[in-house]
Every structure is written in C-alpha cells, then in structure tokens.
Structure 1
Amino acid sequence: MAFDFNRRSLILSGAALSAMAGTSLLGGCESLLQKIQNRPTRRGTQSLSSTDPVWSVYRAAVSAMQARQAGDARNWTEQARIHLDHCPHGNWFFLPWHRAYLFYFEQICRELSGDDGFALPYWNWNQNRSIPAPFWSGVLNHPRSVNSSSTLPDSWVGDTVLNNILALTNFTQFASGPSTTQRGFSFSGSLEATPHNNVHGWTGGDMGTYWSPLDPIFWLHHCMIDCMWWHWNADLGNPNTNDPGWSNFTFSNNFVDGNGNPVDIQVISTVLMPLLSYRYEPCQIGGDTMLEMARRDVADARRLREFLEAGAEVPTRLDDSVVLDRGLVAMIGEPVRSELVIPAELARQALDGRAPHLVAELEGVRPPADESFFVRVFLNLPEANAQTSTDSPHYAGSFGFFEDPDAHAGHDAGRAFRVDLTPGLRRLSQAGRLGNAVAIQLVAVPMPGREPVAAPAMPIQAVRAGLLPAVRTRFDERE
C-alpha cells in the first residue's frame, strides 16, 4: 500500500519518522510506519524479464484505461490530456509536476488492475539504450520513429553526460529555471535539455508531442528522470531550492487519484514521495550506484526528510554575464556563423575553481516544428559540423527540443537553454587545446536516422556567458 499525500499524512509522516528515532513508537504511528517501510519498489527494466508479472499488470491497467468511456478522468486519452493541458517545461516546476503525475497515474494503475503493490518500472536508458522489448507488441506498442534495434547515443545518455549532470550542485542548472507560473518559460537545465528532451524527440510519434503519455513508454521514461532527481537529492546530497515560490506552489485541478477524484498538491509534498510512498531499485547511473533507502537507519531517514523539506538558497543569476552576440541563425549541419568568444577571465575563473560552472545561455531559441534536429556545442573548433565526433575534446554538450505548438499557441518568443561548459573547458585544457581564447560553436544536427522536414534554420535571439555559483549545502554535511 502506498503512502497517501495529503497534509495530515505529511504531518504524521514527520511524527512517524521522529518516533522511529526514539525509544518507542507513538500510538497510531505503527500502520503508517509499516506503509513507509513496505512501500512499492519501482524496478529497472534492465532487471525485468519479458515474462515478469509487472508487465501483465501494466498491460491490464493500460487496457482498463483504454476501455473506459471518453470523458472519464481515468480514461487513457484523458490521462494524456492532463499532460497536454498542464505540463510545465522549461522551468523549475518540470520535475515536481511530473513526479506528481507519475504518482497519481500509478494509483490509477493499482486501482484498475487490482494490484495494490504495483509500481511502475523505470527505463534506465543509461544501461539499456533501446526501448525495452515489451513495448513492441500488444497494448504497449505504439507508433514511433525508431524500431526495436534503434539505440540512444552516448552523447545523450552515456556515462560522461550523466556524470556531468549529476555533478551539478545548483538546482536550477540541474532542474531548470525559476518561474512564477506553472507554464511560464524560463530556461531548460541540463537534465531536461539533454536526456529528457532528446529521448522524447528520438522516440518520435506521440512521444515527440505533448500527447506523449499516449505512448506507454512515456511513463517509464519519466520514472527514470524522477529516479535521477531522487538520486541527486538523496544519494548525492544536493538540495532543492528553498524559494517559497517553488516549494509553496500548488498544482490545482491537474490530477485525479486512483478513484478518479480531483486532487491538488503542493510542490513541497512531492519532494518526500520517494521517501514515503515508493522507492527505486538500486542501479548504475553513469559512474554512480544508487543506494537502497531500506538500508538507511531511522535517524538518517529523518534527517533526509528535514533536509528535503528545508532546501537551500540557490543562486539563479549568472555572475559577470556578458552577451556574446545577438540575432543568430543556426543552419542544419553547420556551425553558427558568429564569433561567440568568451572573455578569458570567465574561462580562467571556471578552470581555477573559483566559480565551478561556466554557463552559456541561449535566449529566444525558435525550435523546429518537427523536432527533427538537436544542437551540439563545441569549443574552439570553428570547422565543427554534424559529422564531428562527440568524442572530440572540443565537444562540450548538447540540448534537444520538446515542443508542441498546440499546447502553447501564441507563445512565439522562443525558448532558453543553459549549457554547462565547465566539463568541456576542463577537458580542452587537459588536452592542451585551450589556447588564449575560448569560442563557442553551435551545430544543429539531424536526429539519428531522420531527415528534417521543417525549414533547416533555427533563429537564436542572443547568446550570453556567465558564472553560475555552486551551492555549498550538502546532506552529508548536516548534523
């Protein structure tokens, strides 16, 4: 049985964890403690055989939703419509909103399948680069741009890129930028811009639109994104922001519970979900191994809850920010025709550790209508093109697009992306190819195996560079 997230339950959970750390259990907490200790486990697809019972339960739940009448809140299409109408992208509500979405969808799966212990699996695309076999037959199959043998590239989900994302300490660079409204455009951080967006675009079909939950693989893809957030918080000890504009924000009239009843939920409630309501099976993500929460002692679990609820002050502005150029256009396969030269002092500070992150911010990016290409970023390689290897020491990262004009009609100001240049800068320095100046090259690259069908041009309003301060608060340093 999963933990139910309402305000009273959250207060009781704090009391329960406190009681667990004492010498005795307080009356009324025993059943709550049992729920927490026995919460369902989301298992990685890499550890599941094609005949594992979890697939039968998931198929039964999907079939039951598809069979419900149109207009029923638990109907398969109506569940996808929630995403179309409400999903935030390109701002810091991206992670908590999708966590809540998964949480309530999982409740519906349990209710309609009759399996109270069901937990969604997660697709660990770092370890399993192809869409898992169960999604190529029966009710889990769906029209896509890829096939069962297609594989995701290292530059999106490989060890190096995920290690660099997990090494970030600033919540906004990890999780996307601040916004005062649920669907306001800020900027996409590293987790959203690279693995999240590119997996959506690569998969194609409905997965390339805001109707993406119509494809059953959507839910497992987002479980992996959620798993990385939890790993970043709980295992690596990084805090979320303590900005009340984030933690106190309420998602109103977005979701329904397992019985189809409307529910509202605050962002702060979502940060405790993996601690209280479900857990992730340990696995390898890049160079890290997830820890199993069941192995934590009670006092540690209580401290973790306090840490997650407290958050930390997170800088969002770039220090010493300078505009490198305005009014750029990227053409497919060619570097942007502009001298995007970073001031030497910014590069020097990033290399000597005074400012851990040298960040490039692209503003007013007009993405392609069909998401048939993504963007690679190189340093000091003016001849870079679509064929340039991402193994080159000049390669600094990439970002992709996840757009749906139908969901954001009238919003034509473009998107913003922040790219952490520091790992690439250090790699270039170690290879002895840094030189006296650092220039950025942006190359629009077609999706693997696909030809763009839209106009092969991507306008960019401005490119700037600056230093993003690190966040020093860590879970493993708290008493």
Structure 2
Amino acid sequence: MDIKRRQFIQASTAIVALGMTDGALLLSGNQSANAATASKNVRRDVTANVAGLDQVAAYERAVRLMKDREPNDPLSWESQAQIHQNHCPHGNWWFLPWHRAYLFHFESICQKVLSDPSFRLPYWNWTKDRSVPAAFWDERTSLFQPNREISPNDEVEGDVTGRTLINRIMNNNVDVLLYSGATRTDDQREPASQGELESTPHNGIHVFVGGEMGSFLSPRDPIFWLHHANVDRLWRSWSELHQHRSIGDKLWKDHKLTEFFDADGKVVTHVTSTTEDFAKFNAEYDVLETVVSTSTKRPMEPLSFTTKGLAGRQLVAFSSDVGDLGIAGSMQLAIDTPIKNSISKATAPLLAAEEKPIDSVILMKIEGITVKNTETRLRVFINCDKPSPNTPIGSPSFVATINFFGVGHGDHGGDGVNFIFDCTSTFAKLKKSGLYNGTGDIKVSFVPIGRKNAKEPSVLDDVKPKRVTFVGL
C-alpha cells in the first residue's frame, strides 16, 4: 500500500539525519492487532501443544535430511547458511524483507525434503521463554549445536527481549525504528543504521547464544530459523497494529532481494514490495502481539514538518566530549530552545493524567561505533548520576542496551555502526523522578558491559561512539 493514501509524515531533513530517505519516516496512531488465524497451516510457538501436530519432530527430520545432502547441493544445510553469509543485509531497511523471503524459501525446502507441503516453521518466543528450547540440547538429534556459548538453563536478559521492550517496539510509530535505516544506493549490504527491533532483540539473541549464532554463518545453528521466525512475527504484528503501513520510497520498494534457492534448487529473487504480502510468504502466525491501551481508541495525528522547522530540532555531540574510557564515559550537551520545546511536546502525553494521543517523539542516533571487542555490549543512559555496570535497567535514566552482531563482515560496519532509539519515555521518566527539569543540560552516558555478565566491567574504548544526535519530531 502506498503511503500517499494515508495520513503519514513526509519528513525531509529528519529523514536525512536519521538515515532515511524522503517518504520513509512515518508516524501514525496505534491499532489493536487482529486475532490470529485458527488455520492449521500457520507458524506456531515451538512450545505449542496441538493434537496431531509434532512440529519439532518434523523440523528435526527436515534438518537431518538437509544435513545429509552434499554441501554444494542447493537444498543442503550448508548451502542455506552460505546464502546468509554472502547476501544478507543487516543495518539497513532491507533487513526485514530479505529475511522474510529467506525464511519462506527455507521453509519450502523443508516441505520438499519432508514431502509435506503443510509443514510450517515453528518460532521461538524468547520474550515468553527466555532459554533456548530443551529440544535443541539433545545431542542425539540434528537440532543440537555443540559450539553454543550458553547452557540449557541460561536465560536472556530482560533488556534484550523483555515485555517492556517488545511493547515499546509494537507501540513505536516511527518506521526507522522498526525497519532500520535507508541506504543511499541499491546496494543490498550498504550499511545505514539499526533500529530497535534489529539492534536489541535480534542482535541480542545472536550474541546471547554465541558460537555459530554469533557469526553470519548463524543459520548453521538450527535455532537460527526459529529466532528469525519470531522476528518476522513481530514485523507481522507491527504491520497489523499500524494499518499495514508501507515504505513508499521507490528505492526500497523496487529493490530485488538476492539471492535464494527455491525448492527445485533454482536461484530466485524477489522485489521488496512483494514481501508485504504476508500470506504469499507464509508469514501467518498462531499468535500476534497486541498493544493494550487504557482508552478505546488512540486517534491518529497527521503531522507535517518543514525543512526549516526541523533543522533547528537537532542537538549533536561528538566523541571528543566523551570522558573516562574506563567503565563509563559521558557526553554533555547544552540544551537549546528547539530541543527543549521538542522534549516538552513529546513527553506531555506520557505525563498527562489521562491518556492522550502520542504525536511527537525524541529520537537518539548513536553513530560511528568501531567495535574492537565483540565480547562487549553497550548500555546507554541519560542524566545518570554515577553510571556503572551495576546501574539497573529499571533506572529512569536507562535508554537501551546495544548488542553487536556481524560487525566487520562484508560491507557491514566499515565506517562504524549506527543505531537509533526512541528516548521519549526516558525523558518522561526523568521528569517524573526530578532528574531532568526541562531546561538543563543533557548528559548521555555509555557503560560497556560483558557479553555474558552484564555486571562485568569492560572498556569503553572497545565500543566508543563518535557522535550522538537528538532529533525532535
């Protein structure tokens, strides 16, 4: 569906500032998700108990049959991993559609080797079940991967896949936060920026599991496909909640996603816009995410931002302002009137006694992180007094945890990696707690933490950002 038929923002300089091209950055109101289909042929939670359906056993058999094939066979397990190694886009706006097509063709190959066209991939809902499913630890089966860097009882942390995070992603009405940033060219692997869906739960699960999952050969681990099925389920859920919104930019819509093998072993490509037909790509799930609202309806607020008006609503700080390179470092930003007014407008609905429509946001773009140590993650805080690895994620100052995946592979991250987050709710919490009065300076702090142990100090220079930009929309 073309965005010209809907009431969405056509932002100009904001899109440039956030790595999006004209027509790609949009806001609208929230809608409740439709009830999931009751059809048998849907992708289901791996823990679902459905009479007459043993989806885990079927998947295990498909994996075993694919692993038994010669590596150069297009339908083999290794060939599927090499597709990801050589073609996958990360850190740009083709991340979601490419992986949807990738899942579809992998699922089609499973159907072919099983001689069962009704087969559907299960998904791993890592918000509900925070450990890798038990079936993937049985060494007697094809689902076991020996080089994972976790144990069966390890649980992913709440700031990576928790309910608060997923609700924020579903509520988000700025496309760049879901799709990731726009490229300037038709290069499928051109780095842009990572939105919150990609940078946090997606990257975080890859980092959490480790081993092959920590590399671009991650499809060698059978849990990869269930992980990405859940990412796709979240995209499908978001689409339902946001009136099946689409990016209208021609570069995005007309790009040919390359390349995949169909069930006959033939090379196929897909035009990006076709992936929005979820039924065509089997992107149908037993359960979709919903957004709970205290009011019956959140009105859509059409907005328009001019080039002149938006140019003044950006606040930038460079890495030369970052202090201590030990356990934490901070950037100090002297607030100006346009940003002050943007923060006030964006936080007002969140601070109101009664629910009001959200028609403005404050975005933070963190740019140019050169990752020297992939064992390090990065937590971001605003106006935190003494930030450290022990600062809880429940702190009103907490913004996000950045997880690094696939850095330095192919065209990914050549000039450092970039991330975008919505920090509107953080500013609202800061106001409520008295840590931000609406007029003072803004301090952005970065706390490096260990990959396995969040309270383990790391070195900031290993993941130091070059620039931070706040943009008020």
Interval containing the TM-score (normalised by the shorter chain): 0.7 to 0.9
Given the alignment, which residue of 202, 205, 210 partners 1:196? 202
Question: CA separation in 2, counterparts of 1:219 and 1:272?
Answer: 20
Distance 1:129 1:73, change over 3 A: same
Question: CA separation in 1, counterparts of 2:253 and 2:164?
Answer: 31
Distance 1:50 1:151, change over 3 A: farther
2:218/2:224 contact within 8 Å kept: yes
Q: Does 1:346 align with 2:339?
A: yes
1:332/1:446 contact within 8 Å kept: no
Identity %: 29
Amino acid at match of 1:195: P
Distance 1:46 1:107, change over 3 A: same
Pairs within 5 Å for 1:26-425: 40-48=41-49, 53-137=54-138, 138-142=141-145, 143-179=147-183, 180=185, 181-237=187-243, 239-252=245-258, 254-274=259-279, 277-283=282-288, 319=311, 320-327=313-320, 334-343=327-336, 345-353=338-346, 356-369=360-373, 371-408=374-411, 412-425=414-427
1:79/1:213 contact within 8 Å kept: yes
Report which of the two has the higher share of helix.
Answer: 1
C-alpha deviation, 1:265, in angstroms: 0.6
Q: TM-score, normalised by structure 1?
A: 0.78
Structure 2 residue runs of 5 or longer lacking an equivalent are 1-36, 294-302, 347-357
Question: CA separation in 2, counterparts of 1:441 and 1:455?
Answer: 11
Q: Give the SS at the match of 2:463.
A: strand
Q: Give the SS at the match of 1:245.
A: helix
Distance 1:284 1:232, change over 3 A: closer
Q: Give the SS at the match of 1:191.
A: helix
Question: CA separation in 1, counterparts of 2:458 and 2:79?
Answer: 30
Amino acid at match of 1:215: D
1:201/1:208 contact within 8 Å kept: yes
Q: Deviations over 1:340-390 (max 9, x none)?
A: 455464244233239622112122111244x21211111111410111100
Amino acid at match of 2:274: S
Q: Give the SS at the match of 1:457.
A: helix
2:233/2:283 contact within 8 Å kept: no
1:198/1:400 contact within 8 Å kept: yes
Distance 1:65 1:176, change over 3 A: same
What root-mean-square deviation, in Å, do the aligned CA atoms of Structure 1 and Structure 2 show? 3.1
Q: Deviations over 1:436-475 (max 9, x none)?
A: 33321111111234879999622322222112x4xxxxxx
Distance 1:259 1:276, change over 3 A: closer
C-alpha deviation, 1:100, in angstroms: 0.4
Question: CA separation in 1, counterparts of 2:272 and 2:406?
Answer: 24
2:46/2:56 contact within 8 Å kept: no
1:193/1:401 contact within 8 Å kept: yes
C-alpha deviation, 1:273, in angstroms: 2.5
Residue 18 (structure 1) aligns with: none
1:44/1:281 contact within 8 Å kept: yes
Q: Give the SS at the match of 1:165.
A: helix
Report which of the two has the higher share of strand.
Answer: 1
C-alpha deviation, 1:132, in angstroms: 0.7
Q: Deviations over 1:221-242 (max 9, x none)?
A: 1111101111111134251211
Distance 1:149 1:37, change over 3 A: closer
The count of residues paired between Structure 1 and Structure 2 equals 407
